[in-house]
Structure 1
């Protein structure tokens, strides 16, 4: 999901683990850990766009990364808070930073999909994360020194045990990709052992009904006294309410899947596979897709507020995969095929270019032949070999921007049901 939501989740986890001992500092450390996996977007600064696409929600969003990074970061932050400090503390901290870079580098090289510029990607992610930790660590040490006497009198340890730090960072990191698994975009949870993308398609990548109540309860908890029962209850309520909403979206998912199955059966569509997921920013309006044959798709919409339990209309989209058949083995195209999981169509746009459209996220309109009707797409230049993914023209970007403005108004109307 969006980075703000991941920060909120990480902060709530940090509070649950160490809030009684660290107060709001636990939320800060948890928030940093919660946003760590999404620092993989910085890869676009040092590598090519297709490598960046393959790297996002890959190794940093995996269970192996959480298992290895949690103890490493927890140990390093524990050394940062050592009281009294020893002469080797900064050597240990620098060693922890270097070890984190090595972990990112080795794990990224082991990915099944080759990514260019791995050392640079690991370096920029390490540098930004280390900088974030340095800022919070500096502030945390100031608080620690200014309140040292109060901590001693209250019996609250200034520096939690190493295993408690490790637990905070492991849980705050691993809950990030677990939440991403609920989205249509999904995450490569088992990298570097497999490039399989887990995508349960129950919640949008941005959903205010998940984020805003969670944020409100977290703010109320942060404003309560450290270690108080009220603070604990508010933070727990945020975790429970957000988890209950995810459970509700899962129920909606299976309900919509039943509706999609009934729809394609009524229309005599024999589907090889089906897919359903919520549209952007809500859990009421859903997109449904049925694939027949190798490259024929039917796409429709259904709102939970519709009077009839059916996807209507179901637009036919010809995939035209044959237009790209001669280019199997070309690296950039193979990455797009993998990323879209084969659920794509191809639209000629002239000048030797074609547009690959990811169909998992629906359409902006009702004309499958219009290149600006697709939310996620890439322009491919077939006049060069191997083929290259090219940036979209300024004219197409402007036209798509205009379509997006109208799309959100139509989305709201359709969400309210027919």
Structure 2
């Protein structure tokens, strides 16, 4: 999730754990700091954009390492404020602020390597967009009221915001499974055999969902609003570039194999002039994606691997938001191309 959300979650959790055992501002401050610490790995340059992408949310998001770091952080905070008697309580607050960060990231589609160093598998539920105001605003509102008011029951507002946001996460999973069921039924009715199915929300909401189905001859993309009245989904078909990946990229490019693993097979390969580009299909929509990499260039009749380059692909914001607003209402408006 975005940094503001992670800060708000860490602060809210810490305030909930510490209660009146320390000043609310102290709990919020250190909770917010611990809540954003795992994302400092974004400032590490691993040498190329593919490594940077696939190693983000790695060791710094591992539950094992975060748990090991907790006692040292908690002891330092307790000593700094002269609250050694509250060391155990600070330990619980710090641990929850740290581990709720990767657990929240888990709910996005990106891929979080929670189980390092025992497993590098990038887990992702994909039921919430990386920025969702309906998750973040209740956290911030409850936290602000709890910190500004000195009434005995003020901390309940923080708990209420935390409970609402947590319930919203649960709702996102329910909505995702509902759309997945409609997508599978629609594909079956249309005689499509999908090897993989991806269901993720579009930007900033859990009303309009994007569905990607990988098939033996390409992939399909469709959109489903919870306000749609039609019983079936409609899909567009696109080429995936399986032969380009298998014959041109995979044998010689570690970066291509790494992306295929990290995306769980939701990728496409295209030739763009003399370049071979590989795209993560999970984040974005046709033809605009967050992560597209140039992995090879054609020289003397051969496709030779190159140091990866990230290619930016973004739609016009006004056009994109207009489509998003209309389509979320159940109107069958074609997506921007």
Q: What TM-score does the superposition give when structure 2 sets the normalisation length?
A: 0.90
Residue 324 of structure 1 is matched in structure 2 by 245
Residue 266 of structure 2 is matched in structure 1 by 343
Query: Aligned match of 1:390 in 309, 315, 322?
Result: 309
Residue 327 of structure 2 is matched in structure 1 by 414
CA RMSD in angstroms comes to 1.9
Offset at residue 382 of structure 1 (A): 3.0
Residue 235 of structure 1 is matched in structure 2 by 158
CA distance in 1, matches of 2:263, 2:315: 25
Mapping for residues 50-129 of structure 1, pairs under 5 Å: 50-82=50-82
Q: Is the 8 A contact 2:220 2:238 kept in 1?
A: yes
Normalized per residue, which structure has more helix? 1
Mapping for residues 187-198 of structure 1, pairs under 5 Å: 187-198=112-123
Q: Is the 8 A contact 2:48 2:307 kept in 1?
A: no
Residue 309 of structure 1 is matched in structure 2 by 231
Residue 44 of structure 2 is matched in structure 1 by 43
CA distance in 2, matches of 1:407, 1:160: 54
Query: Aligned match of 1:381 in 296, 313, 319?
Result: 296
Normalized per residue, which structure has more strand? 2
Mapping for residues 124-203 of structure 1, pairs under 5 Å: 158-203=83-128
Offset at residue 221 of structure 1 (A): 0.8
Q: Is the 8 A contact 1:302 1:310 kept in 2?
A: no
Offset at residue 273 of structure 1 (A): 2.1
1:100-127 Cα offsets, whole Å, 9 max, x none, are xxxxxxxxxxxxxxxxxxxxxxxxxxxx
Offset at residue 401 of structure 1 (A): 4.3
CA 1:210–1:309 in structure 2 vs 1: closer, same or farther (change >3 Å)?
farther
1:51-81 Cα offsets, whole Å, 9 max, x none, are 2212211111111122111122112223333
> What is the DSSP-based 3-state SS (H/G/I as helix, E as strand, rest coil) of the residue aligned with 1:345?
strand
Instruction: Note if 1:361 corresponds to 2:274.
Output: no
Residue 150 of structure 1 is matched in structure 2 by none
Q: Is the 8 A contact 1:57 1:188 kept in 2?
A: yes
Residue 5 of structure 2 is matched in structure 1 by 5
Query: Which structure would you say has the larger Rg?
Result: 1
CA distance in 2, matches of 1:402, 1:289: 19
CA distance in 1, matches of 2:55, 2:209: 28
Offset at residue 407 of structure 1 (A): 1.6
Residue 316 of structure 2 is matched in structure 1 by 403
Query: Aligned match of 1:270 in 193, 205, 225?
Result: 193
CA 1:160–1:38 in structure 2 vs 1: closer, same or farther (change >3 Å)?
farther
Instruction: Note if 1:298 corresponds to 2:217.
Output: no
Instruction: Note if 1:208 corresponds to 2:133.
Output: yes
Q: Is the 8 A contact 1:382 1:388 kept in 2?
A: no
CA distance in 2, matches of 1:240, 1:337: 37
Residue 333 of structure 1 is matched in structure 2 by 256
1:9-46 Cα offsets, whole Å, 9 max, x none, are 100111012231222110100000000111111113x6
> What is the DSSP-based 3-state SS (H/G/I as helix, E as strand, rest coil) of the residue aligned with 2:18?
helix
Give unpaired runs (5+ residues) of structure 1: 83-157, 365-371
Offset at residue 286 of structure 1 (A): 0.3
CA distance in 1, matches of 2:159, 2:152: 10
CA 1:408–1:379 in structure 2 vs 1: closer, same or farther (change >3 Å)?
farther
Q: Is the 8 A contact 1:349 1:355 kept in 2?
A: yes
